[in-house]
C-alpha cells in the first residue's frame, strides 16, 4: 500500500503554464546517516581503490521519460545524472545531514554576491573535459542556461536571470542580455539577476543547471543525454528497455565531496518489470537494487520484515508532505471553522496505516516537515496535549462544523485512482461523514489528477484534493511560498501549485520579509518562516496527513550504502561484493 | 402474435404441441434441460445472497456501514480481541497486513481488505452492485437496441442507413477504450449527468450502468435488425397493412412479438457480458466508485495482497466466474427452449 510519487510541477516568478512534469524531487535535513564503508579514492586516476568494478543493475517499473537534463524533473534520472554531470555547485555527495550542504563543483568556490546580491562571479575549474573529450569552458554554461528556456521545462528556477524574460522556446540570448557572461580567457562566469535571490545556490545545485557542451542543440535532445563531466557517461537510453552508463574516460577527481569517483564500472537501469518481480529478483541476487521510487506492494513489505533481509533493507525519513488541499474558493472550506473542523476530525493514524504503517510514515501536524529548516513542532489539531498528534478530536470538530453553519453540505474528495489514493480518499470521506458532511469521491488517474486539481477552471468540481510534495531543496519557501503563497496561484493553468488557492495578504507580507531577510539576516528570516508555518497551519488550508519514509531494497552482495537527503541512495558509491 | 396463431390454427393437423402457448412450450423445454435449470438455481442463489447483504452486514458492521474503512478497528478471533490491521513484524515492522479469514460468520469470515473492511460483507454488497449494473445495463441495452432495430428494419432506406452507420461507428470503437473514455469524462463532472429532469450523480451506480448499456447497443442491434428484416415482408405483416394498421401498431403488435424471442435469448448472455465488463472497468477504477463496491473493485483492492491475503481477490473472482457461467449456460438453455435451431452468440 505504499506509494512514493510526487508531482512537483513548479512555477515561479508568475510564469504559468510550463508543462506538467511528474517529479520526484527531494531532500531532507533529516538524520538517517546510514553511511558505511567509504572507499578510498585515487585522485589521479579517478577511480576508487579496492571496490571498483562490476555492473550495478537497478530495476525500475518504468523509465523516466525524456532524458534531456534541461527538461527531466524526476528523481529517477537525477539519481543517474549526478553521476554523469556537474554544475557550478552541488549538494555534497555524502551520507546524512552533511549531504544538505552546498559545495563548489565545477566552480572553484562559492562566490559572495555583489551589486546588492544581484551579481555572482564564478571562477571555473580548468583542465576538465566532457565525456566526448571536449575541454570545459565557461561559455558552455551560457548554452546550458539558455537551454533552460529553449527546451520546454521548468524554466522558472532561473527566471530571475537578467534577460530571461525575453527568452522562450523560440530563442534565448543570455550573453547578449548580460544575464550570463562567460570569459573564456580568465575562466570566469558572471550571473546577473534582476533581484537578489537567496536560493540561487540551491537552484544551481539542481541537475537542470548541469553543464553541457556549448555545441549542444538548443532544442530538446530527446533520449540522447548530452555529454557531461562526471565519472560516468551515458552509453544508451531506451525508455522501453534500459539505460546504460559506463565510465567516462576523461574524468578525474577534483573535489571528492562534490563529485567522488564511482565504484561500479557500469550502471544499468532496466525497465518494465512489475515491482513485485523487481523485489523478488533483487532478493534472489539477480539484480542489485529496486528503484526507490517504485511502490512495493503490501505483501512484499511483510516479506521484507524477515530477519534474513534486515541488512538489505534501508528505511529513511523524507522531508515531504502527503496532504489534502482544501478548496478555499468555495463552500464549505472557504470558512475557517470548517477547515479547522476537518483538521480536527482527520484520523491521521488511519492515513499512516494506508501508507504502510508507522515504520513508513508519521502523522503530520504542520506544513513544514520535521527536521526541516525553521521547523518548530506545532500540533494544534489533535486530542490531548498539542505537541504530537495523538488522535482526532471529533467533539471539537463537530462543534466547529456547527459554528460554521456548513453541516450537511456535499463535499467532493478528489484523489488518484491508484490503491493509496483511493484508500486515502475513502478514509477522508469517512472522516467528513463523521462530522456531518455528505462526502463522495472523484477519482482520476494519477497523470490527470495533479494538473486537474491545479487548474482553477476545475475548482468548481471538488472541495478536497489529495496531493504530495517532496522538497526541491531545503528552503522553507519551497513549501510555504510555493504551495501556499499568493504568487503561485495561476488562474486557469495546469501549473498552479497552490492547489488550495489560499492567499492571506498578512502571511504573504511575512513571506516577503523572510525572503528579503535571508541574505542579510538569516536568523530573523528563520524566525519569520517558523511564524509563517504556524500561521498557515492555523489557517488550515490543508489537512496535513503524514510525512513519509522511503525504502531501499538491495541485493545481499551490495555494500557501501549511503543515503543522501537530497539525492537519496548514492548509486555510484555502492560496490559489489561478488 | 399473428404468425404464431397461424401455426396452431391449421385444422386436421393436431400434433402433440398443437394448441399450446409457445411460451409454455419454451418453458417446458427449459424445464427438461437440467443443466440450464441448475444454472438458473445457481444464479438465483447468488441474487438472493447478494440481496441479503444488509442482514449479514448488520452483524459485522463496525460503525453501521460495512463499506467504510476500519483501519483502527478490532474484531474477535477465538474470543480474543484482535486488531483488524496488523503491523508487520521483525526488526523493520514494515507494512500493515489486514486480518486473514477467521471462518467465523460474525467476525471477518473471509478476512479484511487493505483498509480494514470485511471481505465477506464487501462480497455481498459487491454482488448487489455487479448484478444491478449487469442486469440494468443489459436491459437498457436490449430495449434501446430493439427499438432502434425495429425503426431501422421497418422503415428501411435512409433511416436504416443512418441508424446502421451510427451503430457501426459505435461498434468500431474498442469496447473498453470507449467505456473508459466516457467514464473518465463523466467522473470529472462532480455535478453528475443531467438529462432533462433525470439526474445521475457521478458516483452513482447508474453511471457505469448507462455507459455499459450504451456501448453494447450495436451488439444487440445487429441480430435483432436482421430478425426484423426477415419478418417485415411476411404475409401477416402485409395482411395487417391491408387492414389499415398504423406504423406503430405494425411495429409493436406485428413485428415486435416475432423478434422478441431473439432478444430474450440474448438477454442472459448480455447480462453475463455486462457483468464482465463492469468488473473490468471497476478493476481499472473507472467503473463503480467508492464508497460503493463491486466484485471488480474488490479484486482491484486485493491486488497488493495476492500473496498473503489471496481471498480478497479470489472470492470475488469466484463469484464472477459462477455468475457468468450460470448465465451463459442459462442463455444456451433459453435459446434451445425458444428456438432449438438458432445459433445466436454474443461478443
Question: Which of B90, B91, B95 has the most A C-beta neighbours within 10 Å, making it the best mutation to test the interface with A?
Answer: B95
**Is it the case that residue A15 has pLDDT exceeding 90?**
no
**Is it the case that residue A530 has pLDDT exceeding 70?**
yes
**Is it the case that residue A189 has pLDDT exceeding 50?**
yes
Please tell me the predicted confidence (pLDDT) of residue A20.
Answer: 34
Which of A:60-119 have CB within 8 Å of B?
A: none
| pLDDT band at A3; cut points 50, 70, 90 | very low
* Nearest residue on chain B to A425, alpha-carbon basis: B290
- Measured N-to-C along each axis, helices B119-155 and B157-172 cross at an angle, to the nearest 10 degrees, of 150
* pLDDT per residue as tens digits for the range B117-130: 999 999 999 999 99
B97 with A307: Cβ contact below 8 A: no
pTM attached to this predicted model: 0.83
A349 reaches B (C-beta below 8 A): yes
Tell me the sheet residues that pair with A538: none
Residue holding cell 483488524?
Answer: B84
**Which residues are CB-contacts of B143 (< 8 A; sequence separation ≥ 6)?**
none
**Is it the case that residue A154 has pLDDT exceeding 70?**
no
Please tell me the predicted confidence (pLDDT) of residue B18.
Answer: 54
Measured between alpha carbons, how far is B157 from B152 in angstroms, rounded to an integer? 8
Query: How far is B51 from chain A, CA to nearest CA, in Å?
Result: 24
| pLDDT band at B340; cut points 50, 70, 90 | low
A388 reaches B (C-beta below 8 A): no
Return the minimum-mean-pLDDT range out of B189-193, B198-202, B252-256. Answer: B189-193
Tell me the sheet residues that pair with A271: A60
Contacts B189 to A, Cβ<8 Å = 461
B304 with A419: Cβ contact below 8 A: yes
Please tell me the predicted confidence (pLDDT) of residue A49.
Answer: 55
Question: Which of B94, B99, B112, B292 has the most A C-beta neighbours within 10 Å, making it the best mutation to test the interface with A?
Answer: B94
- Give the number of A-B residue pairs with CB atoms closer than 8 Å: 150
Question: Which of A360, A440, A446 has the most B C-beta neighbours within 10 Å, making it the best mutation to test the interface with B?
Answer: A440
Which of A:286-305 have CB within 8 Å of B?
A: 297-305
Measured between alpha carbons, how far is A252 from A250 in angstroms, rounded to an integer? 7
B189 with A461: Cβ contact below 8 A: yes
* pLDDT per residue as tens digits for the range A66-107: 899 998 888 899 999 999 999 999 999 999 889 999 999 999
Q: What is the 3-state secondary structure (H, E, C) of A297-310?
A: CHHHHHHHCCHHHH
Report CA-CA distances (Å) from B291 to A94, A498, B46, B208, B257.
47, 28, 22, 14, 42
Of B97, B188, B301, the CB nearest to A442: B188
**Is it the case that residue A555 has pLDDT exceeding 80?**
yes
Query: How far is B100 from chain A, CA to nearest CA, in Å?
Result: 13
Of A306, A452, A462, the CB nearest to B90: A306
Query: How far is B6 from chain A, CA to nearest CA, in Å?
Result: 57
**Is it the case that residue A429 has pLDDT exceeding 70?**
yes
B96 with A356: Cβ contact below 8 A: yes
Query: How far is A277 from chain B, CA to nearest CA, in Å?
Result: 13
Tell me if residue A391 falls in helix, strand or coil.
Answer: coil
A458 with B188: Cβ contact below 8 A: yes
**Is it the case that residue A536 has pLDDT exceeding 60?**
yes
B285 with A297: Cβ contact below 8 A: no
* Nearest residue on chain A to B65, alpha-carbon basis: A430
Mean pLDDT across the stretch A418-429? 93
Contacts A433 to B, Cβ<8 Å = 68
Determine what percent of chain A is predicted with pLDDT higher than 70. Answer: 91
* Nearest residue on chain B to A354, alpha-carbon basis: B115
B304 with A305: Cβ contact below 8 A: no
B289 with A441: Cβ contact below 8 A: yes
* pLDDT per residue as tens digits for the range A200-215: 999 999 999 999 999 9
B95 with A347: Cβ contact below 8 A: no
Please tell me the predicted confidence (pLDDT) of residue B191.
Answer: 67
Which residue has better confidence, B203 or A31?
B203
In this structure, the number of other CB atoms found within 10 A of the CB of residue A244 comes to: 18
Tell me if residue A189 falls in helix, strand or coil.
Answer: strand
* pLDDT per residue as tens digits for the range B208-263: 999 999 999 999 999 999 999 999 989 999 999 999 999 999 999 999 999 998 99
A308 reaches B (C-beta below 8 A): no
**Which residues are CB-contacts of B87 (< 8 A; sequence separation ≥ 6)?**
A357, A358, A359, B93, B95, B96, B97
Return the minimum-mean-pLDDT range out of A32-46, A164-178, A414-428, A545-559. Answer: A32-46
φ, ψ dihedrals at A96, nearest 5°: 75, -165
Tell me if residue A532 falls in helix, strand or coil.
Answer: helix
A394 reaches B (C-beta below 8 A): no
Contacts A461 to B, Cβ<8 Å = 188-191
Question: Cell triple for residue B77?
Answer: 478471533
* pLDDT per residue as tens digits for the range B127-170: 999 999 999 999 999 999 999 999 999 999 999 999 999 999 99
A204 reaches B (C-beta below 8 A): no
CA-based torsion, B275, B281, B282, B283: positive or negative = positive
Contact (CB, 8 A) for A148 and A203: no
Query: How far is A490 from chain B, CA to nearest CA, in Å?
Result: 21
**Is it the case that residue A216 has pLDDT exceeding 50?**
yes
φ, ψ dihedrals at A404, nearest 5°: -75, -20
According to DSSP H, which parts of A123-199 are helical?
139-150, 174-177
Contact (CB, 8 A) for A290 and A276: no
Query: How far is A375 from chain B, CA to nearest CA, in Å?
Result: 27
| pLDDT band at B15; cut points 50, 70, 90 | low
| pLDDT band at A502; cut points 50, 70, 90 | very high
A446 reaches B (C-beta below 8 A): no
Measured between alpha carbons, how far is A566 from A96 in angstroms, rounded to an integer? 9
Residue holding cell 509563517?
Answer: A532
Mean of per-residue pLDDT scores for chain A: 89
Query: How far is A421 from chain B, CA to nearest CA, in Å?
Result: 11
A427 reaches B (C-beta below 8 A): yes
* Nearest residue on chain A to B305, alpha-carbon basis: A299
* Nearest residue on chain A to B90, alpha-carbon basis: A305
Query: How far is B66 from chain A, CA to nearest CA, in Å?
Result: 12
Mean pLDDT across the stretch A523-531? 96
End-to-end CA gap in chain B = 30
B304 with A297: Cβ contact below 8 A: yes
Contacts A440 to B, Cβ<8 Å = 190, 201-203, 289, 291
B71 with A419: Cβ contact below 8 A: no
Please tell me the predicted confidence (pLDDT) of residue A38.
Answer: 38
Contacts B72 to A, Cβ<8 Å = 347, 349-350, 353
- The angle formed by the CA atoms of residues B90, B94 and B97, to the nearest 5 degrees, is 100
Question: Cell triple for residue A577?
Answer: 561484493
* pLDDT per residue as tens digits for the range A359-406: 899 999 999 999 899 999 999 999 987 778 999 999 999 999 999 999
Q: What is the ipTM of this complex?
A: 0.82
Determine what percent of chain B is predicted with pLDDT higher than 90. Answer: 60
**Is it the case that residue B6 has pLDDT exceeding 60?**
no
Q: What is the 3-state secondary structure (H, E, C) of chain B?
A: CHHHHHHHCCCCCCCCCCCCCHHHHHHHHHHHCHHHHHHHHHHHHHHHHHHCHHHHHHHHCCCCCCCCCCCCCEEEECCEEEECEEECCCCCCCCEEECCCCCCCCCCCCCECCCCCEHHHHHHHHHHHHHHHHHHHHHHHHHHHHHHHHHHHHHCHHHHHHHHHHHHHHHHCCHHHHHHHHHHHHHCCCCCEEECCEEECCCCCHHHHHHHHHHCHHHHHHHHHHHHHHHCCCHHHHHHHHCCCCHHHHHHHHHHHHHHHHHHHHHHHHHHHHHHHHHHHHHCCCCCCCCCCCHHHHHHHHHHHCCCCCHHHHHHHHHHHHHHHHHHHHHHHHHHHHCCCCCCCCC
Please tell me the predicted confidence (pLDDT) of residue B79.
Answer: 87
A298 with B286: Cβ contact below 8 A: no
A302 with B95: Cβ contact below 8 A: yes
Contacts B95 to A, Cβ<8 Å = 1-2, 298, 301-302, 304-305, 356-357, 359-360
Mean of per-residue pLDDT scores for chain B: 87
- Measured N-to-C along each axis, helices A394-404 and A336-345 cross at an angle, to the nearest 10 degrees, of 160
Please tell me the predicted confidence (pLDDT) of residue B107.
Answer: 86
Of B94, B190, B309, the CB nearest to A304: B94
Query: How far is A417 from chain B, CA to nearest CA, in Å?
Result: 6
Question: Cell triple for residue A260?
Answer: 567522488
Please tell me the predicted confidence (pLDDT) of residue A39.
Answer: 40
Amino acid at each position: 500500500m505504499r506509494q512514493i510519487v510526487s508531482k512537483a510541477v513548479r512555477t515561479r516568478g508568475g510564469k504559468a503554464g510550463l508543462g506538467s512534469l511528474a517529479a520526484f524531487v527531494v531532500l531532507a535535513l533529516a538524520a538517517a546517516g546510514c553511511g558505511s564503508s567509504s572507499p578510498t579514492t585515487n585522485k589521479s586516476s579517478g577511480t576508487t581503490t579496492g571496490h571498483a568494478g562490476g555492473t550495478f543493475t537497478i530495476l525500475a517499473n518504468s523509465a523516466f521519460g525524456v532524458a534531456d537534463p534541461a527538461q527531466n524533473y524526476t528523481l529517477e534520472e537525477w539519481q543517474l545524472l549526478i553521476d554523469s554531470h556537474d554544475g557550478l555547485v552541488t549538494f555534497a555527495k555524502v551520507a546524512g545531514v552533511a549531504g544538505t550542504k552546498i559545495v563548489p563543483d565545477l566552480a572553484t568556490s562559492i562566490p559572495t554576491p555583489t551589486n546588492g546580491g544581484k551579481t555572482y562571479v564564478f571562477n571555473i575549474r580548468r583542465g576538465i573535459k566532457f565525456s566526448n573529450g571536449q575541454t570545459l569552458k565557461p561559455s558552455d554554461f551560457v548554452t546550458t542556461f539558455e537551454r533552460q528556456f529553449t527546451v520546454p521545462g521548468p524554466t522558472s528556477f532561473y527566471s530571475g536571470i537578467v534577460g530571461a524574460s525575453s527568452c522562450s522556446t523560440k530563442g534565448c540570448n543570455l550573453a547578449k542580455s548580460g544575464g550570463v557572461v562567460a570569459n573564456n580567457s580568465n575562466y570566469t562566469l558572471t550571473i546577473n539577476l534582476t533581484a537578489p535571490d537567496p536560493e540561487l545556490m540551491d537552484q544551481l545545485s539542481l541537475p537542470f543547471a548541469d553543464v553541457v557542451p556549448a555545441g549542444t542543440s538548443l532544442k530538446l535532445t530527446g533520449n540522447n543525454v548530452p555529454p557531461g563531466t562526471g565519472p560516468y557517461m551515458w552509453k544508451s537510453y531506451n525508455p522501453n528497455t534500459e539505460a546504460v552508463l559506463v565510465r567516462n574516460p576523461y574524468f578525474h577527481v577534483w573535489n571528492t565531496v562534490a563529485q567522488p569517483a564511482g565504484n561500479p564500472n557500469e550502471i544499468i537501469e532496466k525497465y518494465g518489470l512489475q515491482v513485485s518481480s523487481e523485489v523478488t529478483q533483487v532478493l534472489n541476487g539477480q539484480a542489485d537494487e529496486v528503484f526507490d521510487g517504485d511502490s512495493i506492494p503490501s505483501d512484499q513489505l511483510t516479506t521484507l520484515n524477515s530477519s534474513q533481509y534486515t541488512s538489505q533493507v534501508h528505511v529513511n525519513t523524507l522531508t515531504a508532505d502527503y496532504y489534502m488541499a482544501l478548496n478555499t474558493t468555495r463552500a464549505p472550506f472557504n470558512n475557517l471553522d470548517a477547515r479547522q473542523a476537518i483538521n480536527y476530525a482527520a484520523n491521521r493514524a488511519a492515513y499512516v496505516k494506508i501508507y504502510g504503517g508507522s515504520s513508513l510514515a508519521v502523522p503530520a501536524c504542520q506544513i513544514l516537515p520535521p527536521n526541516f529548516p525553521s521547523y518548530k513542532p506545532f500540533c494544534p489539531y489533535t486530542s490531548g496535549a498539542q505537541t504530537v498528534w495523538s488522535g482526532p478530536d471529533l467533539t471539537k470538530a463537530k462543534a466547529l462544523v456547527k459554528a460554521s453553519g456548513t453541516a450537511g453540505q456535499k463535499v467532493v474528495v478528489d484523489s488518484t485512482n491508484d490503491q493509496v489514493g483511493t484508500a486515502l480518499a475513502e478514509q477522508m470521506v469517512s472522516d467528513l461523514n463523521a462530522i456531518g458532511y455528505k462526502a463522495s469521491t472523484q477519482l482520476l488517474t494519477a497523470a490527470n489528477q495533479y494538473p486537474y486539481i491545479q487548474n482553477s477552471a476545475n475548482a468548481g468540481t471538488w472541495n478536497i484534493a489529495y496531493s504530495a510534495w517532496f522538497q526541491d531543496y531545503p528552503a522553507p519557501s519551497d513549501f510555504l511560498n510555493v504551495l501556499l503563497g499568493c504568487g503561485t496561484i495561476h488562474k486557469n493553468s495546469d501549473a498552479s501549485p497552490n492547489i488550495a488557492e489560499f492567499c492571506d495578504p498578512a502571511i504573504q507580507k511575512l513571506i516577503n520579509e523572510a525572503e528579503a531577510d535571508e541574505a542579510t539576516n538569516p536568523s530573523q528570516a528563520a524566525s519569520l518562516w517558523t511564524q509563517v508555518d504556524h500561521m498557515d497551519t492555523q489557517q488550515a488550508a490543508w489537512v496535513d496527513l503524514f510525512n513519509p519514509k522511503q525504502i531501499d531494497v538491495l541485493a545481499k552482495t551490495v555494500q557501501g550504502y549511503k543515503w543522501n537527503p537530497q539525492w537519496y541512495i548514492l548509486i555510484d558509491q555502492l560496490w559489489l561484493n561478488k | 402474435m399473428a404468425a404464431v396463431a397461424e401455426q396452431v390454427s391449421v385444422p386436421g393437423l393436431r400434433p402433440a404441441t398443437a394448441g399450446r402457448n409457445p411460451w409454455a412450450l419454451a418453458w417446458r423445454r427449459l424445464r427438461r434441460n437440467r443443466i440450464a435449470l441448475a444454472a438458473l438455481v445457481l444464479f438465483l442463489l447468488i441474487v438472493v445472497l447478494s440481496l441479503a447483504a444488509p442482514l449479514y452486514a448488520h452483524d459485522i458492521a463496525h460503525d453501521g456501514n460495512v463499506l467504510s474503512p476500519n483501519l483502527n478497528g478490532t474484531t474477535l478471533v477465538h474470543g480474543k480481541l484482535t486488531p483488524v490491521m496488523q503491523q508487520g513484524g521483525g526488526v523493520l515492522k514494515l507494512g500493515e497486513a489486514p486480518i486473514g479469514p477467521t471462518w467465523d460468520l460474525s467476525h471477518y469470515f473471509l478476512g479484511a481488505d487493505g483498509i480494514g473492511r470485511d471481505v465477506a460483507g464487501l462480497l455481498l454488497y459487491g454482488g448487489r452492485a455487479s448484478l444491478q449494473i449487469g442486469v440494468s445495463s443489459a436491459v437498457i441495452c436490449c430495449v434501446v437496441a430493439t427499438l432502434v432495430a425495429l425503426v431501422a428494419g421497418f422503415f428501411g432506406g435512409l433511416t436504416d442507413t443512418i441508424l446502421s452507420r451510427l451503430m457501426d461507428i459505435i461498434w468500431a470503437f474498442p469496447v473498453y477504450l470507449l467505456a473508459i473514455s466516457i467514464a473518465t469524462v463523466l467522473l470529472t463532472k462532480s455535478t453528475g449527468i443531467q438529462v432533462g429532469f433525470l439526474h445521475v450523480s457521478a458516483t452513482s451506480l447508474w453511471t457505469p450502468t448507462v455507459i455499459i448499456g450504451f456501448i453494447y447497443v450495436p451488439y444487440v442491434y445487429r441480430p435483432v435488425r436482421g430478425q426484423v428484416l426477415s419478418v417485415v415482408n411476411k404475409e401477416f405483416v402485409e395482411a395487417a397493412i391491408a387492414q389499415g394498421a398504423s406504423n406503430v401498431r405494425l411495429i409493436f403488435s406485428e413485428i415486435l412479438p416475432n423478434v422478441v424471442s431473439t432478444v430474450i435469448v440474448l438477454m442472459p448472455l448480455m447480462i453475463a457480458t455486462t457483468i464482465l465488463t463492469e468488473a473490468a472497468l471497476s478493476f481499472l477504477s473507472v467503473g463503480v466508485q467508492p464508497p460503493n463496491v463491486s466484485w471488480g473493485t474488490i479484486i482491484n483492492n486485493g491486488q497488493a495482497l495476492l500473496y498473503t491475503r489471496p481471498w480478497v481477490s479470489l472470492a470475488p473472482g469466484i463469484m464472477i466466474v459462477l455468475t457468468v457461467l450460470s448465465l451463459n449456460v442459462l442463455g444456451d438453455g433459453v435459446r434451445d427452449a425458444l428456438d432449438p435451431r438458432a445459433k445466436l452468440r454474443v461478443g
